[in-house]
Amino acid sequence: MFDEYMGWIETDPNKYLNVAYDDTYNETVVTAPPIGATRTWDGSENRSWTNVSNWATYTVPGVSNPVVVDGGDTPNWPQIISSVSNIESLTIGTVADANSYLGIELGGKIAVHNTTLGAAADSKGTLWMAGGYYVTGILQLGVDATSYGQVNLYDGVLQATTIQREAVDTGLINITQGRLVLTGDQLNKVSGWEANGNLVAYGGFGELVYDYDDRLAGMTVVSAISMDFNKDDAVDVEDLALFVSRWLAQP
C-alpha cells in the first residue's frame, strides 16, 4: 500500500525481497537467488554504498549477499541516499570495543531479510535514519549481555516484522520525526519496550504515540511528539506553560 506520509509500505513481510517496484510502485515479481558470498564494508574511499571501492571485494552487494559493517579502523561509515539493491542480511558491529554505523538519508531505500545491530561481545551497532525507507524482517538489538544495538529514527520509515533484544539493557530505539512500523498487533511489545526505556521519544523529552490497525491496516505504527516546547533540553513547568499559552491562543 502507499501511505501519504510514509510512502510505500509492504503489507506482506514474506515477499518484499522477491518484489521489485518502479518509480510509480508497480510490482515486478522476481525470484530470490540462493544466499551468496558475504560482502564486507571497508569504507576506504568515501561513504557511498554504491561505490565498489568501499567494499572489500570491490563488489556492491546484491539481493543474495549477506552484508557486514564492522568496527575497528573503518575510515568512513556507509550512507544510503538512493534506492539500492535489496540484500540478504545486514550485520552492523562485529568488533569488540568498537562502534559501527549505517546512515539512511532522504531518498535512501533498502530491504533486508534480517538485521542485527551489535553482533559481537562488547560491540555496538547503530542505524541512523534521517529519511528514506528501511524494511527488514527481524530487527535484533544485541546478541549477548555486553553487545548493544541502537536506532536513531530522526526521520523516514523503519519497517520490521518484529523487534528483539538480547536483554533489557542491550538496545535502544529513539524516535523523533520518523515512524516505526511493525507487522501485526505489537502494542504489548511496544508498551513493554517503552516501560523499560528501550523505546523513547526525542531522547526522553517527548511522548510516544502508537496504534494498531489505525494509521495503517494490520500494522503497529509508532511515532513521537516532542514535549520540550522551548527546546532547552528539559521538560518542565516552562514547557507546560508554553503549551497552555499556545493552546489558549488558538482560534
Where would I find the H helices in the chain?
187-195, 237-249
Does the pTM exceed 0.85?
Answer: no
Average the pLDDT over each of 3-12, 35-44, 143-152 and give the range with the smallest value.
3-12
Confidence class for position 80, pLDDT limits 50, 70, 90: very high
pLDDT number for residue 70: 87
Q: Is the predicted pLDDT of residue 249 greater than 70, yes or no? A: no
User: Residue 235: what pLDDT?
Assistant: 58
Burial of 203 by CB count in 10 Å (0-12 exposed, 13-18 middle, 19+ buried)? middle
Cell readout for 232 is: 532547552
pLDDT at 74: 85
Three-state DSSP class for 16? helix
